Amino acid sequence: MPCIEARGLRKSFGATKALDGVDLKIEEGRILGIIGPNGAGKSTLLNAVLGLIPYDGDLSVLGINPWSARNTLMRDVCFIADVAVLPRWMRVRHALDYVAGVHPKFDRDRAEALLARTQIKKTSKVRELSKGMVTQLHLALVMAIDAKLLVLDEPTLGLDLLYRKQFYDTLLNDYFDHRRTIVVTTHQVEEIEQILTDLMFINHGRIVLDCSMEDFQSRYVELTPRPEHLGEARSLKPFNERQSLGRSILLFESAEREWLAALGDIRTPSIADVFVATMSPPAQGGVS
């Protein structure tokens, strides 16, 4: 059973189509990164998956309809929807008490063990914690819940580099176990690049790329041709060209690596490079 399956998922806000026919299938045990510009429909997609908004089309999460069976779903699904949304008046120990009191799959000892690794005091109020510490607290609460699906919507926005790195390290080392599924959206693509198993680009409410990271790495090649081979390289129809330090860098999709290697240096592009190339209008690429 796929963890999330959608067919023809649509959602409009007035005249704006936030989701314009999304089809997707996410298997269990994957870590999916959803990348898209602001307003692309990422949060709307996640809100639909979490049963927070009604939608049109078919959507099934862990085999159930997230809108009509939301209360059942939330026992197996966890999310961090935004940074620092923990109630500011709450004390850390109250947060532990409350989640322990309402969540059947919360392991309080585990949450306390995770908190013990931080500087957070149990008597502190959330408003007294730094933004990074609030995120640590939220992550400790979420990681102590034995959920099947964890959804993270910009979980590290506004955090400094150390907290961001620690966030994903903790998640990967102490939480992910190949039975759980994690869906994450972020603008800081480079930080999650190493942990993803799957990748999705979304723009204008549509999925524009949906592949595993293995596919991604074999599919895209970046070539920095030697100047004398630039014309030849361009004739092979790169789908994007950019300038860096006075040299042209060409991005190819589904090209023969051996041929390209003969023309210059090749490497696997970063997600960010492919993302920018995919989202940019093709005209400026200088394609022959």
CB neighbours (10 Å) of residue 208? 15
Show the CA angle centred on residue 1, arms to residues 204 and 10, nearest 5°.
Answer: 25
20: buried, middle or exposed (CB in 10 Å: 19+, 13-18, 0-12)?
A: middle
d(CA 126, CA 161): 21
Minimum distance of other proteins from residue 123's CB (angstroms): 13
- End-to-end alpha carbon distance in the chain: 46
Q: Judge contact between 112 and 137, C-beta under 8 A.
A: no
Interacting residue with other proteins among 104, 177, 228, 246 (CB under 8 A): 104
Query: Judged by CB, which is closer to other proteins: 79, or 220?
Result: 79
Tell me if 268 sits within 8 A of 221, measured CB to CB. Answer: yes
Q: Angle 131-143/108-116 helices, nearest 10 degrees?
A: 150
Residue (of 210, 236, 245, 288) closest to 27 by Cα position: 210
Q: Which residue's entry shows tokens 């995919």?
A: 278
Any contact of residue 78 with other proteins (CB under 8 A)?
yes
The residue range among 76-84, 158-166, 190-198, 226-234 that interacts with other proteins, by the rule CB under 8 A, is 76-84
For position 90 contacting other proteins by CB under 8 A, the verdict is yes
Please identify, among the stretches 84-92, 154-162, 182-190, 266-274, the one whose residues bind other proteins according to the rule CB under 8 A.
84-92
Task: Decide: is 69 part of the binding site for other proteins (CB under 8 A).
Answer: no
Residue among 86, 213, 263, 277 that touches other proteins (CB under 8 A) = 86
Q: Which position among 1, 14, 38, 101 is part of the footprint of other proteins (CB under 8 A)? A: 101
| The two structure tokens encoding residue 167 | 């966030």
Residue 208 in the binding site for other proteins (CB under 8 A) = no
Pick 114 or 230: Cβ nearer other proteins: 114
Applying CB under 8 A, does 64 fall inside the site for other proteins? Answer: no
Provide the mask over 114-143, with x wherever binding to other proteins is found by CB under 8 A and - wherever it is not. Answer: ------------------------x---x-
Residues interacting with other proteins, by CB under 8 A?
Answer: 47, 50, 52-54, 70-71, 74-75, 78-82, 85-91, 94, 97-105, 107-110, 113, 138, 142
